[in-house]
Amino acid sequence: MILENSNEIIATAENERQQWKKIWFTNWCFDILHPWHIETFKQAKKYCDILFVALNGDKSPYRKTKPWRPIHDEKHRSIILDSIKYIDYVVKFNEETPIERIKEIKPDYIFKGWDYKEEDVVWYKEVTENGWEVIIIPTVEGYSTTNSVNKILWKNK
């Protein structure tokens, strides 16, 4: 389910929490999905009841580092994420980090993929100070959206 605003996000997370469900959270751009993304969601879902995925919106500062991205707009990326059976809720953020969404959802755990170290997650300190835990999930190495784009470009030359 795609949740559009803060009130909806807070109410949904609180409702799930009242049912004693374990809530996990992750975020990224999810521009071109590949096996690494799916395997990461699948691994996370083994440990949680509810999985929230925060999506970098089209106005996210992410574009400053990669102005040619995202390739697909936030509406279409949200629809694709919402169709993945391991994901329960999709939320969007346009800030530099998803910390406001994390504070709204109050997840039990926040996970990132193998390419991160806990202490390198930009909101690690804020998360751990609130008693939430950052989990690094080992997943399929060798895949990235950048690699996918480069492969498409090189095949077309």
Please, what are the domains in the chain? Answer: 6-155 (3.40.50.620)
SS3 91: strand
Burial class of residue 125, CB neighbours in 10 A (0-12, 13-18, 19+) = exposed
DSSP letter for each residue of 4-48: -SHHHHHHHHHHHHHTT--EEEEEE---S--HHHHHHHHHHHTT-
What is the token pair recorded at 65? Answer: 């580092």
Beta-bridged to residue 26, according to DSSP, are: 53
User: pLDDT per residue over 26-68, tens digit each?
Assistant: 988 888 887 888 888 998 898 899 999 999 888 876 656 666 6
37 vs 146, more confident? 37
Q: Residue 132 — very low, low, confident or very high, per pLDDT cuts 50/70/90?
A: confident
What is the token pair recorded at 128? Answer: 């751990």
Is residue 110 within 8 Å of residue 132, measured between CB atoms?
A: yes
